[in-house]
Amino acid sequence: MKKLSALHLVLTLVVVGLGLTLVIGPKTRLVAAPPPPPSLINGAGATFPYPIYSKWFDEYHKLHPDIQINYQSIGSGGGIQQLKAGTVDFGASDMPLNDQLLGQFSFKVIHFPTVLGAVVPTYNIPGVNAELKFTPEALAGIYLGKITKWNDPALTGPNAGANLPGQDIVVVHRSDGSGTTFVWTDYLSKVSPDWKSSVGSNTSVRWPVGLGGKGNEGVAGLVKQTPNSIGYVELIYAIQNNQPYGRVRNSSGDFVKASLASVTAAAAGVAGQMEKDVRISITDAPGKEAYPICSFTYLLIPTRIADGAKRKVITDFLHWMLANGQTMVESLNYARLPKSVVAIERKSLGQIQ
Amino acid sequence: MNYRLVWRKSVNAVMLSLTGLCTLLTVSVLFFILGYLIWNGAGAINLDFFTKLPKPVGETGGGMANAIVGSAKLLLLAALTGVPIGFMGGVYLAEFGGKTFSFLVRYTTDLLNGVPSIVMGIFAYTMVVLPMKHFSTLAGGLALGVMMIPIAVRSTEEFLRTVPMTLREGALALGASKWKAIATVVIPAAFRGILTGIMLDLARVAGETAPLLFTAFNNRFWSPGWNQPTASLPVMIFTYAIAPYDDWHRQAWAAGLVLLGLVLLANITARVVLSRKLSSAAG
Amino acid sequence: MASSASTFTPSPRPALTGRARVFLLRLRSGDEVAHLITLIFASAILLITVLLAFELYRNSALSREKFGWHFLTTRTWDPVFEDFGALPFIFGTVVTSAVGLLLAVPVGVGAAIFLAELAPPRISDALAFVIELLAAVPSVIYGLLAIFTLVPLLRTVVQPFLKEHLGFIPLFQGPNYGVGLLAAGLILAIMIVPFIVSISREVLMAVPVEQREAALALGATRWESTWKVVVPYARAGILGSVFLAMARALGETMAVTMVIGNDPKISSSLFAPGYSIAAVIANEFTEATSDLYIHALIELGLVLFILTIILNGLARLLILATRRKGTAHP
């Protein structure tokens, strides 16, 4: 009779442990009655709206426990690519797809704007707690690598009392394909001819300087840990991490801070144009109160969804998003869609077959 | 006193103490890693960590239950693919192999072993994810399984070779056919070694992140079956570590501690078992 | 021909010739079956590896056709204008691996010497085991630790120190971020030391004791006997371990991508951010928006694959050479 060795014991434990987790794991869902087979939808894309999307999908799951919408924030570029490859059911991007990009798809895709958000310059300067004011020239100069120190006149000019140090500016940008990058570079292209000709605007550009962070989360993380750094992130990321973000001078000459009011103001007046095409850029928008670096963000939905159950889930979710979902966005500092845009989208829901 | 002798003696003392220092440095790294993980992660390991799902971005709390189950499923699949191929391949090399073909097999096994894990991920993406049009546990498990093969082959072959010829010859002399001798005498004799080799292999593959990034992808919910994306411990650690949320950092430490704990446990057990086997074989 | 159920006469079979008969006999006895089964599995390994290499080659076709050999020498990596070059990534991979090796080899060989020559056998075994455990630590955990301990340490203490005292060397100039080539090189060094230690220790212990005794008999100190006799004898094996460690360092993905700074630039300073082949694939693969982009990334993977094959091959040859030398003794 062989003795029970330590090996036997450990092996048994491992096998039993694995078996238990496999059996019990999926069942700890606190649902008393056996649930109907779950509807699983996979989506991927922008990190810009990730906080509100993850909240939406979580809430929707609570309302419909048999529906799981798994959204991964891998960046707008990733959302576009994975939708094109067919590995996800829907994509998400802050950058609207132009006709040339749409042409690369083998199927038709509709853009559904979901929320409005702002991209803010967040910074980490030890000893400086004041709220900084950035001119468009300053931002372009920093990201072009032409303004290298915090006490450059372009920065100390509008920020007389801030006591900016003579330290090197650590520039942080995105390392992945990002809609937030698109919004930021779109704005810089509009306000700086230099930027437009040398770098341009896209989800992924050739950055003159800087460190790369993965996702909005990565940029916020890098800025948080690196002194004398500056990065661009969606507003909620700066707020949730208690990081200071600056005011930006808009086209009317006022230094505006990103907020629900200033973001909503940026979208005022474009609803008419969106009737024809929801793909629109609202950076450097006119208006005294408007924050200059805002954007709509879009869900990319294929018009033909073969699986009937999936189609129903997606269209139901979009209905819910346009009604109940919109009531949750302001708590996370995203602005609601203008009413006229909601109406436009309800009409396009019919296009999903 | 001869100056040259004094010089040589002092060089001797200095260099030898330096080597001791190098050893100290290297060994202390492990304790530093363990200590740091325990310091930061122990506090975050609670029941929630093992039973709850992740919470939406920015909210504190939640856990990594789905990642733990996901990793378990991935490892199960990896074992089911990698172990049979590796084991049988090792048996072939040790017992049946012809000269040139064995050389080829060994060479390609070495090649496969050297493939960077990210390249393995690319392979699984093009072979499984794209045709299936799905990120899936299957793709991730297969990628990990292929990574397991070389070490499974090598340890099977090595341990089979340690079985003395006398055992084989004895079995054959008693009238067993070759395969019967292998199956009933040689393999059981090498069994413990082979098993520990496989356990170490599993432990190594449990910590791999890169091949999962575009195969198993990630999932905020439970992943039913095998053809949906799934969360896994290493990918969660990566995602949480590079993010700015402090709560996510806490959870990353906890997950790191759990993962490292399991890996170290497997390695220590393997070593203990092997040393006992050696001493029992010698004694 | 049989009529009743009680007698059964089997119909005559054609007589089997010698070889076929032996084969069938062995088949029935299971040997050929076993041979066949294991052969199939072994061929599966061959098949998988060939398939892997083939897929890498096939799926990088667009990029190879468009850029040819220039791919290896172009500095640009521009997804917008679809101009791709591997040089920044090869640079980053090579530099970080070089830094890693420069730091790991002295420490690793030193520790191996201590364990093989000086430490009593039981302590040597125990410590060697602990060091092997280090090799089992997953890469992502090294990365996790590096972000929160190594990077701040570099940024606040080490890099300013280097800048102040050695700042005249271009390697130590420029802005100080914490993340960058030096950080990646350091974490790689920590990760590959265990490999160098365990293999070097083995080859050192395999050196015949007569060599040492001869040196000591001639009046050498312990150190001299080790450094001038034993180590050169085991030179090939130690070099082999270095190549193996290098191959491992080249393919490291997670820890590197978490601390290298993710900037595809070539710079003369170790403080600057860089990018490695494995890191860029990990970051950009899921979002490469055009076929050429994906193929360029896969071509990078192919380059890495070939590099590691060459290094691994060299390593095996070298280690084999020492082993053979060590045992071929009258």
Q: CA of C250 to nearest chain B CA: how many angstroms apart?
A: 8
Rg for chain B, CA atoms, rounded: 24
Question: Per the CB < 8 Å rule, is B237 touching C30?
Answer: no
State which residue of chain B sits closest to C281, comparing Cα positions.
B118
Say yes or no: B88 contacts chain A, CB-CB below 8 A. Answer: no
Mean pLDDT for A140-154 is: 93
Say yes or no: B99 contacts chain A, CB-CB below 8 A. Answer: no
Question: Per the CB < 8 Å rule, is B241 touching C281?
Answer: no
Mean pLDDT for C119-132 is: 89
Question: Per the CB < 8 Å rule, is B16 touching C304?
Answer: no
Say yes or no: C312 contacts chain B, CB-CB below 8 A. Answer: yes
Write down the pLDDT at residue C248: 84
Write down the pLDDT at residue B123: 93
Say yes or no: C221 contacts chain A, CB-CB below 8 A. Answer: no
Question: Per the CB < 8 Å rule, is A87 touching B272?
Answer: no
Residue percentage of chain A with pLDDT more than 90? 42
Residue pair A73/A56 in contact (Cβ under 8 Å)? The answer is no
User: A243 contacts in B (CB within 8 Å)?
Assistant: 244
Q: Out of C81, C175, C284, whose CB is closest to A170?
A: C175
Over chain A, what is the mean pLDDT?
A: 86
Higher pLDDT, B133 or C323: B133
Domains of chain B (ranges; CATH) run 47-282 (1.10.3720.10)
Burial profile A179-208: b = 16 or more Cβ within 10 angstroms, e = fewer: bbbbbbbbbbbbbbeebbeebbbbbbbbbe
Measured CA to CA, the distance from residue A39 to residue A18 in angstroms comes to: 26
Say yes or no: C144 contacts chain B, CB-CB below 8 A. Answer: yes
Mean pLDDT for A295-302 is: 93
Residue C3 scores a pLDDT above 60: no
- Residue-wise pLDDT for A56-68, tens only, equals 999 999 999 889 9
Question: Per the CB < 8 Å rule, is A212 touching C151?
Answer: no
Question: Per the CB < 8 Å rule, is B12 touching C278?
Answer: no
Q: How far is CA C207 from CA C216, C226, C236, C237, C328, in A?
A: 15, 11, 12, 11, 11
- Residue-wise pLDDT for B69-85, tens only, equals 999 999 999 999 999 99
- Residue-wise pLDDT for B177-214, tens only, equals 888 888 888 888 888 888 888 888 898 899 999 999 88
Q: Out of C114, C278, C304, whose CB is closest to B23?
A: C114
- Residue-wise pLDDT for C64-76, tens only, equals 898 888 889 888 8
Best of B220, B268, B280 to disrupt the A interface (most A CBs within 10 Å) is B220
Classify residue A16 by burial, with Cβ atoms within 10 Å: 0-12, 13-18, 19+: exposed
Mean pLDDT for C7-24 is: 65
Over chain B, what is the mean pLDDT?
A: 88
Residue pair C114/B24 in contact (Cβ under 8 Å)? The answer is no
Q: Out of B9, B110, B252, whose CB is closest to C316?
A: B110
Contacts of C54 (CB under 8 A, 6+ apart): none
- Residue-wise pLDDT for B148-157, tens only, equals 999 999 889 8
Residue pair C24/C13 in contact (Cβ under 8 Å)? The answer is no
Write down the pLDDT at residue C100: 94
User: C295 contacts in A (CB within 8 Å)?
Assistant: none
Mean pLDDT for B242-266 is: 88
Say yes or no: B9 contacts chain A, CB-CB below 8 A. Answer: no
Say yes or no: A25 contacts chain B, CB-CB below 8 A. Answer: yes
Q: Out of A54, A214, A223, whose CB is closest to B220?
A: A54
Amino acid at A6: A
Over chain C, what is the mean pLDDT?
A: 85
Question: Per the CB < 8 Å rule, is C262 touching A213?
Answer: yes
- Residue-wise pLDDT for C277-314, tens only, equals 999 998 888 877 778 888 999 999 999 999 888 888 88
Best of B4, B10, B11, B22 to disrupt the C interface (most C CBs within 10 Å) is B22
Residue pair A72/B119 in contact (Cβ under 8 Å)? The answer is no
Q: CA of A43 to nearest chain B CA: how many angstroms apart?
A: 10
Question: Per the CB < 8 Å rule, is C111 touching B18?
Answer: no
- Residue-wise pLDDT for A329-341, tens only, equals 988 888 999 888 8
Pairing of strands A294-302, A90-93: antiparallel
- DSSP secondary structure, B174-193, as one string: TT--HHHHIIIIIHHHHHHH
Residue B113 scores a pLDDT above 90: no
State which residue of chain A sits closest to B246, comparing Cα positions.
A241
User: B129 contacts in A (CB within 8 Å)?
Assistant: 87
Tabulate helix, strand, coil % of chain C (nearest 5).
Answer: 75, 0, 25
Q: Give the DSSP letter of residue B92.
A: I
Write down the pLDDT at residue C329: 38
Mean pLDDT for A62-79 is: 89
Mean pLDDT for A305-311 is: 87
Question: Per the CB < 8 Å rule, is C263 touching A211?
Answer: yes
Structure ipTM:
0.85
Residue pair A312/A245 in contact (Cβ under 8 Å)? The answer is no
Q: How far is CA C269 from CA C169, C180, C181, C182, in A?
A: 9, 9, 8, 9
Question: Per the CB < 8 Å rule, is A204 touching C80?
Answer: yes
Question: Per the CB < 8 Å rule, is B269 touching A10?
Answer: yes
User: C133 contacts in B (CB within 8 Å)?
Assistant: 30, 264, 267-268
- Residue-wise pLDDT for A155-177, tens only, equals 999 998 888 999 889 999 998 87
Best of C24, C29, C38 to disrupt the B interface (most B CBs within 10 Å) is C38
Write down the pLDDT at residue A27: 52
Residue pair B214/B119 in contact (Cβ under 8 Å)? The answer is no
Question: Per the CB < 8 Å rule, is A78 touching C286?
Answer: yes
Measured CA to CA, the distance from residue B265 to residue C234 in angstroms comes to: 33
Measured CA to CA, the distance from residue C299 to residue C307 in angstroms comes to: 12
Residue A3 scores a pLDDT above 80: no
Write down the pLDDT at residue A152: 92
Question: Per the CB < 8 Å rule, is C151 touching A104?
Answer: no
Question: Per the CB < 8 Å rule, is C287 touching A101?
Answer: no
User: C251 contacts in B (CB within 8 Å)?
Assistant: 114-119
Question: Per the CB < 8 Å rule, is A51 touching B57?
Answer: yes
Residue C323 scores a pLDDT above 80: no
Residue percentage of chain C with pLDDT more than 90? 33
Residue C9 scores a pLDDT above 80: no
State which residue of chain B sits closest to C194, comparing Cα positions.
B26
Residue percentage of chain A with pLDDT more than 70? 90
Q: CA of B69 to nearest chain A CA: how many angstroms apart?
A: 6
Question: Per the CB < 8 Å rule, is A176 touching C151?
Answer: no
Indicate the pLDDT class of residue C111, thresholds 50, 70 and 90.
very high
Q: How far is CA A27 from CA A290, B51, B76, in A?
A: 50, 11, 19
Write down the pLDDT at residue A32: 38
Residue percentage of chain C with pLDDT more than 70? 90
Spatial strand order of the sheet with A255-256 comes to: A133-134, A247-249, A255-256
Write down the pLDDT at residue C325: 62
Q: CA of C286 to nearest chain B CA: how many angstroms apart?
A: 7
